[in-house]
C-alpha cells in the first residue's frame, strides 16, 4: 500500500516537473526578449537594404529640387501632404476621393492653392499653411495641389 502510494506521488511529481519544464521552455521561447531579438534582427536587415535605398532616393529628390528650384507635385505630396490626405487624418479630403474633392475643385485652382499656401480652417478640420512644412516653396505646394486635383479627373 505504501509502495503504491509513493509510486503515485513520484509519478505526479514527475508530471508536474515535466509540465513546469515544458511551460518554462514555452515561456522562454515566447518571452519578450527573444521576440524582440528576432524582430530586431529582421528590422535591422530591412533598414540595411530598403532604408539605405529610401535615403538615397530622398537625397536624390532633394538635389534635383535644388537644381531646378521646383519639386514635382507627387514628391511633395508624398513627403508632406500624404500624412493627412492619404487617409483623411484630421478631416483632410482624401487623395482620389471624388466626394471629398468635387466641391472644393469647383472653387477653382487659385482658391485651392491659396488655402494650401496660407492654410485655412473649414468645416471638416484645419489645413495648416503649406501642410505644416514651411520650408516648401510656393511652387512646390502649387505642384502638390495640382497633383492632388489631377487624381480626381
Candidates 83, 86, 94, 152: give the one binding ligand HEC (CB under 6 A): 83
Q: How far apart are CA 129 and CA 104, in angstroms?
A: 17
The reply on whether position 132 binds ligand HEC by CB under 6 A is: yes
Q: Which three cell numbers stand for residue 82?
A: 500624404
DSSP-based three-state secondary structure for 127: strand
Site for ligand HEC in 53-82 (CB under 6 A): 76, 80-81
Of 34 and 124, the one with the shorter C-beta distance to ligand HEC is 124
Nearest approach in angstroms of CB 153 to ligand HEC is: 15
Q: Which three cell numbers stand for residue 11?
A: 509519478
DSSP-H helix ranges across 30-125: 32-46, 52-68, 73-76, 82-85, 98-106, 109-118
DSSP-based three-state secondary structure for 120: strand
Query: Which string of x and - marks every residue 91-130 that binds ligand HEC (by CB under 6 A)?
Result: xxx----------x--x---xx--xx-----xxxxxxx-x
Q: Which residues bind ligand HEC (CB under 6 A)?
A: 76, 80-81, 83-85, 89-93, 104, 107, 111-112, 115-116, 122-128, 130-132, 141, 144-145
Amino acid at each position: 500500500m505504501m509502495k503504491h502510494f509513493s509510486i503515485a506521488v513520484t509519478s505526479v511529481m514527475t508530471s508536474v516537473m515535466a509540465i513546469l519544464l515544458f511551460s518554462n521552455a514555452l515561456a522562454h521561447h515566447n518571452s519578450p526578449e527573444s521576440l524582440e531579438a528576432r524582430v530586431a534582427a529582421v528590422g535591422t536587415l530591412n533598414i540595411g537594404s530598403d532604408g539605405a535605398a529610401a535615403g538615397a532616393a530622398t537625397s536624390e529628390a532633394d538635389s534635383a529640387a535644388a537644381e531646378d528650384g521646383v519639386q514635382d507635385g507627387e514628391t511633395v505630396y508624398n513627403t508632406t501632404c500624404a500624412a493627412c490626405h492619404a487617409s483623411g487624418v484630421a478631416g483632410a479630403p482624401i487623395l482620389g476621393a471624388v466626394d471629398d474633392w468635387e466641391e472644393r475643385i469647383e472653387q477653382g485652382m487659385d482658391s485651392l492653392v491659396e488655402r494650401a499656401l496660407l492654410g485655412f480652417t473649414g468645416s471638416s478640420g484645419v489645413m495648416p499653411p503649406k501642410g505644416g512644412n514651411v520650408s516648401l516653396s510656393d511652387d512646390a505646394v502649387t505642384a502638390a495641389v495640382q497633383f492632388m486635383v489631377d487624381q480626381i479627373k
